[in-house]
Amino acid sequence: MHSDNFDISTYFKRINYTGPAAADTATLHALMRHQLFAVPFENLDVQAGKMVSLVPEEIVDKILHQGRGGYCYEVNGLFAMALAALGISWRFVAARPMFYPARRPKTHMAVVAEVEGRQWLCDLGFGSYGIRAPMALDMLDVDIGQDFDTFRLTRHARGEYLLQAKVEGAWANQYGFDLSVQEWVDFIPANYLNSTHPDAIFVQKRVIVQHHPEGRQILLGNMLKTITANGTKTQQLAEEDIAEVLRTHFALTVA
């Protein structure tokens, strides 16, 4: 993953990172956490009737220079650029979302990084129940607490990895994936579907998620959710209040 206008120092500034820049496990964890807490998951371009661009330079400009976020291809693509700049090996993987009532194609993108002899699932673009730190692929069937959330990786009958999250006390499947290498171009059809298909949730409604150390805030349509270890608060917003909420809660400005 390469972009002519990607600069690692600009990336560090965007994600508020001032730590070491090394090709090691600690840096991998720190970068994912900092980007997750600084860059929102958002589909404002889709809601504006635009096709989400997969041109790497346009992703860099959007997130690093315009102060925007993005959905999985954009935020995970940017993360891959940072890993490449630091000399950390990585690959894109295609994942099948599994929380829908019907079977879905592999439309989600995640990143598997390899550092210090271990492989780590990294994902900054899965919305509400996305992981909050890298997960080691050799830690199977182990409950992993990340802040107030709990996740685990297992293998299902077809031999693929399965990411699960504990939701209201029960394990809920999030997505399945294998380690077959995906090229950037392989995600163009999935991006087209998510940007344009009337059944895609990103086309149907506004989806904004901002993670932070104490929890996450989610704007789904006109419903604002604040989720912390103490519970969930919801607020129904009027359409005229959306722009102000995007600015104050998600640091986003709608043109």
Look at residue 73 and tell me if it is in a domain.
yes
Mean pLDDT (the chain, rounded): 93
Mean pLDDT comparison of 43-52, 99-108, 222-231, highest-scoring range: 43-52
Instruction: Find the mean pLDDT for residues 53-82.
Output: 97
3-class secondary structure for 87-156?
CCEEEEEEEEECCCCCCCCCCEEEEEEEECCEEEEECCCCCCCCCCCCEECCCECCCEEECCEEEEEEEC
Query: What integer pLDDT is reported at residue 174 of this predicted model?
Result: 94
Query: What integer pLDDT is reported at residue 78 of this predicted model?
Result: 98
Instruction: Find the mean pLDDT for residues 49-67.
Output: 96
- What is this structure's pTM? 0.95
Q: pLDDT digits over 7-21, tens only?
A: 999 999 999 999 999
Question: Is pLDDT at 255 greater than 80 in this prediction?
Answer: no
Query: What integer pLDDT is reported at residue 235 of this predicted model?
Result: 94
Strands 118-122 and 135-136: antiparallel
Share of the chain above pLDDT 90, in %: 84
Q: Which domain holds residue 195?
A: 8-199
Look at residue 221 and tell me if it is in a domain.
no
Look at residue 220 and tell me if it is in a domain.
no
Query: What integer pLDDT is reported at residue 99 of this predicted model?
Result: 76
Query: What integer pLDDT is reported at residue 89 of this predicted model?
Result: 97
Amino acid identity of 86? L
Query: What integer pLDDT is reported at residue 204 of this predicted model?
Result: 94
CA–chain centroid gap for 54, Å, is: 15
Question: How far is 223 from 191, CA to CA, in rounded Å?
Answer: 25
Q: Name the residue with tokens 């699960």.
A: 164
Q: pLDDT digits over 19-32, tens only?
A: 999 999 999 999 99
Task: Judge contact between 66 and 5, C-beta under 8 A.
Answer: no
Query: What integer pLDDT is reported at residue 159 of this predicted model?
Result: 81
Structural domains of the chain, count:
1
Question: Is pLDDT at 76 greater than 90 in this prediction?
Answer: yes
* CA dihedral (44, 45, 49, 54) positive or negative: negative
Confidence of residue 1 (pLDDT cuts 50, 70, 90): confident
Query: What integer pLDDT is reported at residue 229 of this predicted model?
Result: 80
Look at residue 77 and tell me if it is in a domain.
yes
More confident: 103 or 59: 59
Look at residue 254 and tell me if it is in a domain.
no
Query: What integer pLDDT is reported at residue 184 of this predicted model?
Result: 96
Look at residue 236 and tell me if it is in a domain.
no
Look at residue 205 and tell me if it is in a domain.
no
Look at residue 207 and tell me if it is in a domain.
no
- Residue 194's domain is classified under what CATH number? 3.30.2140.20
More confident: 99 or 239: 239
Instruction: Find the mean pLDDT for residues 161-189.
Output: 94
Query: What integer pLDDT is reported at residue 253 of this predicted model?
Result: 79
Question: Is pLDDT at 39 greater than 80 in this prediction?
Answer: yes
